[in-house]
Amino acid sequence: MPISFEQTGRLARITLARPPLNILDLEHLAELSAAVDQGARGQAAVILLTAADDCRAFSAGNDVNDHTPERAPEMLKRFHRTVRALRDTDAITVAEVKGDAFGGGCELVAACDLAVAAPSARFGQPEIDVGCFPPVAAALLPHRIGWTRAVEMITTGRILDAEEAHRIGLVTRLGDSADELIGGLLVKSPAVLSCAKAALRGGTLERAERIYEQRLLRHPDCEEGVRGFQQKRAPNWQP
């Protein structure tokens, strides 16, 4: 199956498995969106997006054949549904990038909250060279890497290596695996992670205050965290 889903405890793993380049056509975009929804319904604390070991790319993006005037509207609808699902889930989303993340693949990385890239990974938005532009990148990259860098990536199609992607903020960490990052997340309270992401997504101090007072302070994990600190023990978070 080109898109596989596996949940172990509070970790949901979505694997792109369409070698060699994980090209996303209409069928696979629908599968990817359904997998993200499944992770959200399963109350995962972390959703990992990765590629199978036999793939040379994290994803080389959406199928060029779907960029025609007849097929592009449906392609955009399905791809953007996946991006919105990644954005709206309460889970922390992590991209583990080995190989190339081009076009829609790079946009998936930008849509995730965090990203770990192998030193050999590369990133780019080459859509300009085939007569179009990447809507998701246009919406997300200015906030992630800054206006001028986003303009350069989108209008020139220049390819970035992993080190540069890390330096400008597209990538969170460099490494061959996201295991360490994910391990650090999974020992946190799922409820508090959810509140923190909701506050970050809101973007205003007023919204963050409401989430803190109306959601966080009413959850037992908030009191348990303080009690654990006071008693010099690890907190016992609720599932």
CA distance 105 to 93: 15
> What tokens appear for 98 in the block?
């080995």
CA distance 38 to 79: 16
215 vs 49, 93, 143, 221, CA distance in Å? 28, 21, 26, 11
pTM over 0.75: yes
Counting Cβ atoms within 10 Å, is residue 161 exposed (0-12), middle (13-18) or buried (19+)? middle
Question: Looking at residue 40, what is its pLDDT?
Answer: 85
> What tokens appear for 75 in the block?
């392609």
Amino acid at 114: L
Question: Looking at residue 144, what is its pLDDT?
Answer: 96
CA distance 124 to 126: 6
Which secondary-structure segment (H or E) carries 14?
strand 11-16
Domain ranges of the chain: 3-185, 189-230
Question: Looking at residue 1, what is its pLDDT?
Answer: 61
Instruction: List per-residue pLDDT tens for the chain, 239 residues long.
Output: 689 999 999 999 999 999 999 999 888 888 999 999 999 888 899 999 999 999 999 999 998 888 888 888 999 999 999 999 999 899 999 999 999 999 999 999 999 999 999 999 999 999 999 899 999 999 999 999 999 999 999 999 999 999 999 999 999 999 999 999 999 999 999 999 999 999 998 889 999 999 999 999 999 999 999 999 999 999 999 98
Question: Looking at residue 27, what is its pLDDT?
Answer: 86
The contacts of residue 181 (CB under 8 Å, 6+ apart) are: 94, 114, 116, 172, 173
3-185 adopts what CATH topology? 2-enoyl-CoA Hydratase; Chain A, domain 1 (3.90.226)
